[in-house]
Amino acid sequence: MKLSNFNFDLPENLLAEFPAENRDESKLMVIDRKTGEIEHKLFKDIVDYFGEGDVMVLNNTKVFPARLYGNKEKTGARIEVFLLRELSEEQRLWDVLVDPARKIRIGNKLYFGDDDSLVAEVIDNTTSRGRTLRFLYDGSYEEFRQKLQELGETPIPKYINREVVPEDAERYQTIYAKEEGAVAAPTAGLHFSKHLMKRLEINGIKFAEVTLHIGLGTFNPVEVEDLSKHKMDSEEIFITQEACDIVNEAKAEKKKVCAIGTTCMRALESSVSSNQTLNPFVGWTNKFIFPPYDFSIANCMVTNFHMPKSTLLMMISAFCGHDLMMKAYKEAVEKGYKFYSYGDAMLIL
């Protein structure tokens, strides 16, 4: 499989700028891998495909308001700072991306907030746009984190070509988000409403939660034709014994184990025992799943519609079968399905 196998024409008007009015009323395409049949439903109809003892695995990561705007000392130039990960709680060191990067050098100071109550000093260059910042703030660590919450905005992806609106803070977050640490939402989970989860629960579906903190690497384009040469960014994972017990019991009983989203699938496939069961795990994964690939844990999955040539599309191809996936995507374009983070969903059985 080469990079060019994953290209297709995506009309610009199919990129979702806003989410569906109600979470569970986005469109749902249902694909049966055995028969090749494709159905068109609403997301809330997902209830009809699962029964007693089936398990849905959710990524409970929580998006933090990672995008800040500051001003450079002396010139006052407006600089966007995107928080990637905290390097030291004690020293308040962060890995960030800055834009425009050419203006930001080691030793520069950036001021945030109308009252300049938060200051950061650039102490290192990491990549062309990457910097290490030390934040200077008079106050406790809790107050510092609260300040970041106040000043930061929801990091909706750049391709959504509009200003952030207050609703994004709620809608670019799953209703089961708990563990803060992601800079992008696990978007397949955005379709679940409280009401829908209650209906699933009443039908005997169990939920297992794992955590994978999504980094900006999820948006990184693949730039090599030979996929085996692409390097994924590492992302942090937590899989508890409790989640393993729920998943492994369902596997033993030949029930459905449904990964809700590509990040969830990646977490599951990063901690598999030699007898194909799920192991507890705390650590980092840079696993890149592309065809051909044998999946060990989940036997169905929910996912959104992804961009051409993306690593997410490659995972879907490996799970769904390439020809069937391309046929489904062609149908999605013809029927006006919305793509990407705020777009519609696909259930692959």
What residue type is assigned to position 287 of the chain? Answer: K
* Residues forming a β-bridge with 124: 132
pLDDT at 224 over 90: yes
Tell me: the pLDDT tens digits for 72-126? 988 889 999 999 989 999 999 999 999 998 889 999 999 998 888 899 999 998 8
Report the candidate in 185, 253, 194, 193 with the shortest Cα–Cα distance to residue 219.
185
Q: Is 209 exposed, middle or buried (0-12, 13-18, 19+ CB in 10 A)?
A: buried
Tell me: the pLDDT tens digits for 127-164? 778 899 999 988 899 999 999 999 999 999 888 889 99
Give the global pTM.
Answer: 0.92
Cα angle 322, 311, 185; round to 5: 120
Report the candidate in 241, 245, 253, 174 with the shortest Cα–Cα distance to residue 214.
174
Which position has the token pair 């933090």? 64
> In the prediction, which pLDDT does 221 show?
80
pLDDT at 219 over 90: no
Cα angle 219, 220, 221; round to 5: 110
**What residues have CB less than 8 Å from 81, skipping those under 6 apart?**
67, 68, 69, 70, 96, 97, 98, 110, 120, 133
Would you call 324 helix, strand, or coil by DSSP? helix
In the predicted model, what is the mean pLDDT of the chain? Answer: 94
Can you tell me the distance from the alpha carbon of 76 to that of 244, in angstroms, rounded to the nearest whole number? Answer: 51
Would you call 22 helix, strand, or coil by DSSP? coil
pLDDT at 56 over 90: yes
Which domains are delineated in the chain? Answer: 3-63+169-348 (3.40.1780.10), 67-153 (2.40.10.240)
